[in-house]
Each structure stands twice: as structure tokens, then as C-alpha cells.
Amino acid sequence: SQTIHQWPATLVQPVGSPLSLECTVEGTSNPNLYWYRQAAGRGLQLLFYSVGIGQISSEVPQNLSASRPQDRQFILSSKKLLLSDSGFYLCAWGGWLNTEAFFGQGTRLTVV
Amino acid sequence: ELKVEQNPLFLSMQEGKNYTIYCNYSTTSDRLYWYRQDPGKSLESLFVLLSNGAVKQEGRLMASLDTKARLSTLHITAAVHDLSATYFCAVGQGAQKLVFGQGTRLTINP
């Protein structure tokens, strides 16, 4: 069966520090991969999605970037964090059309 | 641009009552999903609706889809406290993307 791993679970980082969040999927090949952010008490905002290695689509211009160095690995990065980058970051994977998205356990990022 | 709107955004109800959460979306789509989120947790998939008139039920929850009206409903029957959570609908856009509604925070009181 398919599983998705996301780490770390919580992170407290100072303003201006770098960020790297990692997500890996097991049990499937060539998944669509997604990064979402959820601000406190709010809905989900799609940040990036990828349909294959090295293919990244950015939804919202911001202080973040994403990379997909391997088929089942998706990385969210920042060179310098801002206070506004705080939130709950969720990685998800999905198959082709008509399949749902399955979410990782999320990373709660607090920028101080 | 696809927009997804849920209502109500907040819902407080008593155990044993019935209620419905609505999800409207602005452009044609062929798939709609319902998710549940408990406080501080990730999203759990509840239902996948792929065709007009689709209806799915799991326990006290029932979801339906009307693609002509661009409307999905999540009906709660005889609510129990364990159903307290935030519920999201999400609509497929193109082949790869999901656009989420704002979420409905449901509180069920004894």
C-alpha cells in the first residue's frame, strides 16, 4: 500500500534562516506531488505541484521554492524565512485524473 | 479561475440533530472530494465523487454531487460528538490540481 512520509513534524526557525522540508512517497510510481500551506484557522493554499522529476509548477509567488530530485521525493525550501512563512505545511500525493490526494502528517513551522 | 465556497464556515449543533454543509464551485469539474481535519492534524479523505448524481455514505455522513448545479452537500445524520472537526471540500481543476474550500468548523455539543 502507498504511504507518505513528511518530516519534521514541528519546526521553530528564526527569521532569515533557511528551510528544508522533505516528503517521500512509498508504494507508487510517478505520483503527482503537492505542497500546501495552511495558515492558522484557514483553508489550504496550494504552493507547488509536480507531475514528474524536475517538473515544478508554482502557484503563488513567494519566498519558497520546491524541487523533485527523485520520482518519490519532494522538497520545500527557503533561503531566508519570513515571519509570514509560519503555518502548517502539508505534502500530498495523487495519481492521475480521478484519484484523490492523500496527505502526509504535516509540518508545523513557526518562524520567530 | 476555479473558486470553491463552503457554507456555513462555522456550525455548532447538538447531538442527535441533522445538518448539511454546502460546497459550491464556479467552473465545470469532474471530481469532488470531502476531507476531514481534526485540530492540529492532517487531512483524512472521506469521499470521492466522480459523476453527476453520485451519492456516497459512511456511517452518519452522506455526500452527494450535482455537477449541473456545481454543488456538493455533506449531510450529517443524528450527529455525535466524535464528528466534531473541520470539513473541507476540494474540486479538481485540470488533470492535477485540487482547489479547496475554506473549510467548515463543526462543533457538536452534548
Closest CA to B13 of B108, B84, B110: B108
Q: Which residues of B touch A9 (CB under 8 A)?
A: none
Bridge partner residues of A65 (DSSP): A77
Cα dihedral sign for B58, B61, B62, B67? negative
B96 interface with A at CB cutoff 8 Å: yes
Question: Closest approach of chain B CAs to the CA of A90, in angstroms?
Answer: 7
CB within 8 A of A71, min separation 6: which ones?
A29, A30, A31, A52, A53
Determine the pLDDT at residue B94: 75
On whether the CB atoms of residues A90 and A44 are closer than 8 A, the answer is yes
The single-letter code of the amino acid at B55 is: V
B102 interface with A at CB cutoff 8 Å: yes
> What are the b/e assignments for A3-18, b being 16+ CB within 10 Å?
ebebeeeebebeeeee
Q: Which of A49, A103, A108 sits opposite B97 (nearest CB)?
A: A49
Ranges of beta strands (E only) in A1-112 are 3-7, 10-13, 19-26, 32-38, 44-52, 55-58, 65-70, 73-78, 87-94, 101-103, 107-111
Determine the pLDDT at residue B98: 85
Q: Would you give the DSSP letter of residue A27? A: S
Question: Closest approach of chain B CAs to the CA of A100, in angstroms?
Answer: 7
* Digit-coded pLDDT (tens) for A87-110: 999 999 986 665 678 899 999 999
**Residue that is written with C-alpha cell 445538518 in the block:** B19
Closest-CA residue in chain B for A45?
A: B100
* Digit-coded pLDDT (tens) for A36-82: 999 887 789 989 999 899 999 988 867 899 999 999 999 999 999 99
Q: Give the pLDDT of chain B (110 residues) as one tens digit per residue.
A: 889 999 999 999 999 999 999 999 998 887 899 999 999 899 999 999 988 889 999 999 999 999 999 999 999 999 999 999 999 999 988 767 888 999 999 999 98
Q: Which of B42, B43, B95 sits opposite A97 (nearest CB)?
A: B95
Q: Which of A32, A42, A90 sits opposite B43 (nearest CB)?
A: A90
* Digit-coded pLDDT (tens) for A20-35: 999 999 988 888 999 9
Cis peptide bond prior to A8, omega within 30° of 0: yes
Determine the pLDDT at residue A41: 76
Determine the pLDDT at residue B92: 85
Q: Which residues of B touch A94 (CB under 8 A)?
A: 96, 98
